[in-house]
């Protein structure tokens, strides 16, 4: 192996939390015993308390009661060693990304610039698009832009960084048995393809041709030339280089062709021109290396030489300007870099000799080992200082894209670290374009604010504003507030609201700097303009708690948890539940948040979530694994995804190697729109697979979820060839049904789902298969068969099948039966925004408006209600109100369908300029949307006609 060659060459920082006064009067005498970290003696007090006081039954869990502050002081002090949350200590995070005050115009402008951009510069535009999409909730948009940037990259450096970033986004390193340098089979991420320079955008769609053997181990390379074959004979040679007592016979013409200096020396007006023997002793090259030079002058290859010799040749090539020899040495040594150990040995040689490919290969290994390689001090010294960045620049490997990638990983890993700051400083040094400076300066402001270096934070935010990043005014206001200038912060935000079209985050920020009714009014306005902002819900909930309105506090935080699940909101609800002694509810939320973030620190970062779960477990009814399955069925059937997550987390605590449970976990997380956590669970399912056919299925789902449908189908077929299983047939059917199905394809999908149902599985998955089979039957106009599938699914508690059965009734013109069927789903489901939305299709206009209003209230991210209401308003000739209805949603959810519909409305009103803008914004989100392309082309023609 190559790394053996190189061996011969060798001569949780816990976050500082804010402490606030406790809302409940906890027993002062127990403070010392409980301990400052919720553990130790505090645990003993809890268990002593449990021994003396039996846990009362909680059959009537639905009725909330304020806790008895006297009877359970010890228990509460142990569970809440830091008291309850305090509203004054809450504050929203300043987003560490580019943010526009007019996002639609930003998207439209970006699309226009991408269209007219020269081909060789397009990758830079897509990188800017990456930065714009980074702050959005849909990670697929960011990954798509990243793929486009890699597709259009020209130079090796950019390809290496972008391909490594794509791999990092997939976190393939979490797959047991995989190496950082393993090829995924596609050119877009292939490590070898990244080291090929040149512009070839179509190549990324091809399967790469690299083998699984280490680089530099091709069959032709196994031949090592002997001395007799490698030396020029006396008859052939016409000159010699003498090094010490050794004489290396050469062909003058071959040596002269290596470089201009050699050509001048051997054929110019120098004394060496007339000599047959040239003394080369003082030129710092060994006999072995000079022999290698002679061989290269004839065969133009270096892959048969030892690594030490090739390194000498590289130095020789630089000294005598032998470009062809340098490229050969550079490329060959780059092909040998397979591991971080190799990179550490060769990177300094590469930098010293300005060997572009060697540095690229070493850089690639380092980047593909992220985030763990952040802790490699030997490698990090190459990136963190200005001098190191300049060394990289000399070899062509210092760029904005490199430091953008490194700084993003560092921010995710530890925002407060010195490494993060140094990488961001280098990012700022690399920034040349306006958007790059905006991003770099803003990120430095965010990090300095997090480090409580408020003066520096303000300076960086001000620098970001100077180069055009208006959102950084929020950072300036926050830094001023932290430095004690509250009124100045208020004036800053007041001015921002006056100067620009107000959006939710402006009012949210201003609310921090006012009190009383004015504060609550700003938060109400923020929620009205952007209901996805979590801070107003959290503040209102904690304020209600401080007023001892416990039920109202939980109701308030439930409003956002119902459509946007996040660890901080789940933590807050768990906090409230503990205060109410609803330990089952608290444990449910702690387990759910630990599924989203296994390392989450509770109570302002002072207690690990796992520890709180351990404290809560003895306070609730204990379940066997069989009980857990029953609980999972109940929660699954009631569409209680958070409750289901908690049960799965409990089951995995008892059986962490159960891949089936990890897979269930990933499905629940996808339903909750937690894609990153879902992929993590799916990778763990793959890692814990007990058989080859099972592993292939999970690999297939990973490929499908990352947009590689054909590869997913291949994995399913490979799994079925080993063993017929429910999951393999289901995966194949699901992937095939993802495209437009003709009658033959539908028949095949039906056969696959029927095969799946014949295989052993549990009711949860069979219910899903029956539901999917019913959908295919409906699309094939086989309504009676579809109804049978949905009924069978309902018989095994697959509650969502009510929706499919309602669709069957509707297609049979039985609207009342369809409406009643959806009502059953609403009554059973805890998360029923989609049910209200669907039921609206089966009733009159007034009832539909009522159902859609409820759907929006439960989940403002659902776009159909806005589109329906806007369409009704257009039918009533209320064009302005229709546009306003769509604009309200587009402000916080720039959705393709919303933008397309608003563009169509503008076109019908004769406002072609606005139509073009909305089409451009929509095409920035999805450049392949055919209907928008057609509307865009027509509207541009009308604009051109008006301008003539």
Instruction: Work out the pLDDT band at 161, boundaries 50, 70, 90.
Output: very high
**What pLDDT does 762 receive?**
86
Give the model confidence (pLDDT) of 347-398 as tens digits. Answer: 988 999 889 999 999 999 999 989 888 888 887 888 888 888 888 888 888 8
Percent of the chain topping pLDDT 90? 68
Cβ-Cβ contacts under 8 Å for 83 (sequence gap 6 or more)? 20, 21, 22, 23, 24, 26
Q: Look at residue 232 in the predicted model and tell me its pLDDT.
A: 62
Token duo for residue 747: 């028949």
Of 405, 763, 873, 935, which is closest to residue 771 (Cα–Cα)? 763
Interatomic CA distance for residues 645 and 662, integer angstroms = 10
pLDDT, residue 750, reads 94
> Which residues have CB under 8 Å from 12's CB, separation 6+?
599
Which of 546, 533, 519, 515 is closest to 85 using CA atoms?
546
User: Can you say whether residue 359 is alpha, beta or left, with left for phi > 0 and alpha for psi between -120 and 50 degrees?
Assistant: alpha
CA-CA distance, 314 to 317, in Å (whole number)?
5
* pLDDT tens by residue, 479-523: 999 999 999 999 999 999 999 999 999 999 999 999 999 999 999
pLDDT of residue 774: 96
Q: How are the residues of the chain apportioned to helix, strand and coil, as percentages rounded to the nearest 5? A: 70, 0, 30
Q: What is the DSSP string of 901-934?
A: HHHHHHHHTT-HHHHHHHHHHHHHH-TT-HHHHH
Does residue 814 contact residue 834 with C-beta atoms inside 8 Å?
no
With a cut of 70, say whether residue 212 has pLDDT above it: no
Is the pLDDT at 18 greater than 60? The verdict is: no
pTM, two decimal places:
0.87
Mean predicted confidence (pLDDT) in 91-105: 95
End-to-end C-alpha distance for the chain, whole angstroms: 70
Q: How many CB atoms lie within 10 A of CB 630?
A: 12
CA distance 283 to 244: 11
- Is pLDDT of 60 > 70? no
Cβ atoms of 91 and 535 within 8 Å: the answer is yes
Token code pair at residue 90: 């809450």
Half-sphere exposure of 422 (CA within 13 A, CB side): 14
pLDDT digits 0-9 by tens, 585-616: 999 999 999 999 999 999 888 999 999 999 99
Higher-confidence position of 445 and 181:
445
Average pLDDT, the chain: 87
Block residue for tokens 């303009």: 529
d(CA 40, CA 52): 19
What domains can be seen in the chain, in order of their start residue?
A: 239-306 (no CATH), 533-605+617-622 (1.25.40.10), 623-671 (no CATH)
CA-atom Rg of the chain in angstroms = 33
Give yes or no for residue 5 having a pLDDT over 80: no
Question: 288, 331 in Cβ contact below 8 A?
Answer: no
Q: Phi, psi at residue 13, to the nearest 5°? A: -55, 115
pLDDT reported for residue 137: 86
For residue 213, pLDDT over 80 is answered with no
Kindly report the number of other CB atoms within 10 A of residue 134's CB atom.
Answer: 20
Give the residue, 940 or 187, on which the prediction is more confident.
940
Which H helix or E strand runs over 247? strand 246-250
Report the pLDDT value the prediction gives residue 219, as an integer from 0 to 100.
Answer: 42
């Amino acid at each position: 192996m190559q790394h053996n060659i190189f061996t011969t060459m060798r001569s949780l920082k816990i976050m500082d939390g804010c402490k606030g006064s406790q809302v409940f009067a906890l027993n002062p005498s127990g403070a010392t015993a409980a301990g400052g970290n919720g553990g130790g003696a505090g645990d003993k007090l809890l268990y002593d308390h449990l021994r003396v006081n039996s846990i009362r039954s909680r059959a009537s869990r639905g009725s909330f009661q304020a806790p008895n502050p006297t009877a359970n002081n010890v228990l509460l002090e142990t569970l809440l060693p830091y008291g309850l949350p305090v509203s004054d200590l809450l504050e929203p995070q300043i987003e560490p990304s580019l943010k526009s005050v007019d996002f639609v115009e930003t998207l439209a402008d970006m699309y226009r610039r991408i269209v007219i951009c020269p081909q060789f510069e397009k990758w830079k535009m897509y990188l800017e698009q990456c930065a714009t999409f980074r702050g959005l909730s849909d990670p697929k948009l960011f990954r798509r832009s990243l793929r486009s940037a890699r597709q259009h990259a020209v130079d090796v450096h950019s390809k290496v960084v972008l391909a490594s970033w794509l791999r990092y986004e997939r976190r393939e390193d979490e797959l047991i048995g995989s190496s950082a340098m393993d090829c995924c089979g596609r050119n877009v991420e292939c490590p070898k393809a990244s080291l090929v320079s040149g512009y070839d955008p179509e190549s990324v769609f091809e399967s790469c041709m690299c083998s699984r053997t280490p680089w530099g181990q091709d069959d032709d390379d196994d031949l090592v030339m002997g001395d007799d074959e490698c030396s020029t004979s006396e008859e052939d040679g016409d000159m010699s280089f003498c090094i010490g007592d050794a004489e290396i016979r050469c062909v003058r013409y071959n040596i002269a062709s290596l470089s201009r200096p050699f050509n001048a020396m051997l054929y110019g007006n120098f004394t060496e021109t007339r000599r047959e023997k040239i003394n080369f002793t003082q030129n710092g090259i060994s006999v072995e290396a000079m022999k290698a030079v002679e061989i290269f002058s004839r065969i133009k290859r270096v892959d048969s030489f030892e690594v030490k010799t090739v390194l000498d040749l590289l130095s020789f090539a630089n000294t005598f300007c032998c470009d062809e020899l340098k490229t050969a040495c550079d490329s060959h040594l780059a092909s040998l870099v397979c591991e971080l150990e190799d990179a550490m040995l060769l990177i300094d040689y590469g930098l010293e000799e300005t060997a572009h490919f060697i540095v690229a290969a070493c850089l690639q290994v380092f980047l593909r080992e992220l985030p763990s390689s952040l802790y490699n001090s030997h490698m990090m010294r190459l990136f963190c200082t200005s001098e190191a960045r300049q060394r990289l620049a000399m070899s062509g490997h210092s760029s904005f894209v490199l430091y953008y990638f490194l700084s993003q990983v560092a921010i995710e890993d530890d925002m407060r670290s010195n490494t993060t700051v140094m990488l961001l400083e280098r990012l700022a040094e690399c920034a040349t374009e306006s958007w790059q400076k905006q991003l770099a300066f803003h990120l430095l402001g965010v990090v300095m604010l997090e480090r409580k270096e408020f003066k520096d934070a303000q300076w960086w935010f001000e620098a970001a504003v100077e180069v055009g990043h208006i959102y950084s005014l929020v950072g300036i206001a926050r830094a001023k507030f932290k430095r004690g200038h509250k009124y100045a912060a208020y004036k800053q935000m007041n001015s921002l609201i006056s100067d620009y079209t107000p959006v939710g985050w402006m009012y949210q920020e201003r609310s921090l700097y006012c009190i009383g009714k004015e504060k609550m009014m700003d938060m109400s306005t923020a929620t009205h303009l952007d209901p996805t902002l979590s801070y107003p819900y959290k503040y209102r909930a904690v304020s209600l708690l401080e007023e001892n309105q416990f039920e109202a506090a939980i109701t308030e935080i439930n409003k956002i948890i119902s459509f946007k699940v996040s660890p901080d909101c789940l933590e807050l609800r768990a906090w409230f539940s503990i205060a109410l002694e609803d330990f089952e509810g608290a444990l449910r939320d702690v387990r759910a948040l630990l599924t989203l973030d296994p390392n989450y620190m509770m109570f302002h970062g002072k207690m690990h979530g796992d520890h709180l779960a351990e404290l809560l477990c003895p306070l609730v009814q204990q379940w066997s694994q069989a009980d857990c399955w029953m609980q999972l069925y109940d929660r699954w059937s009631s569409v209680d995804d958070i409750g289901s997550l908690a049960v799965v987390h409990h089951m995995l605590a008892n059986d962490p190697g159960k891949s089936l449970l990890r897979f269930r976990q990933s499905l629940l997380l996808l339903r909750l729109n937690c894609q990153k956590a879902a992929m993590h669970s799916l990778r763990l399912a793959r890692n814990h697979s007990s058989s080859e056919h099972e592993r292939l299925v999970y690999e297939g789902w990973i490929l499908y979820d990352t947009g590689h449908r054909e590869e997913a189908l291949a994995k399913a077929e490979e799994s079925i060839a080993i063993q017929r299983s429910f999951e393999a047939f289901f995966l194949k059917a699901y992937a095939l049904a993802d495209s437009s199905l003709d009658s033959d394809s539908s028949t095949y999908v039906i056969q696959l789902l029927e095969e799946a149902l014949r295989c052993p599985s549990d009711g949860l998955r069979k219910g899903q298969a029956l539901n999917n089979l019913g959908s295919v039957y409906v699309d094939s106009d086989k309504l009676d068969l579809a109804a049978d599938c949905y009924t069978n699914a309902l018989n095994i508690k697959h509650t969502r099948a009510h929706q499919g059965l309602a669709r069957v009734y509707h297609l049979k013109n039985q609207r009342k039966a369809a409406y009643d069927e959806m009502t059953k789903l609403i009554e059973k489901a805890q998360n029923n925004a989609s049910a209200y939305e669907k039921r609206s299709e089966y009733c009159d206009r007034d009832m539909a408006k009522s159902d859609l209003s409820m759907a929006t209230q439960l989940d403002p991210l659902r776009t159909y209600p806005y589109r329906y209401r806007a369409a009704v308003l257009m039918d009533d000739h209320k064009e302005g109100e229709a546009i306003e209805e769509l604009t309200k949603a587009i402000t916080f959810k720039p959705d393709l369908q919303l933008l397309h519909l608003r563009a169509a409305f503008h076109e019908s009103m004769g406002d072609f300029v606005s139509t073009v803008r909305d089409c451009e914004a929509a095409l920035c989100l999805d450049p392949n949307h055919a209907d928008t392309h057609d509307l865009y082309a027509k509207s541009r023609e009308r604009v051109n006609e008006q301008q003539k």
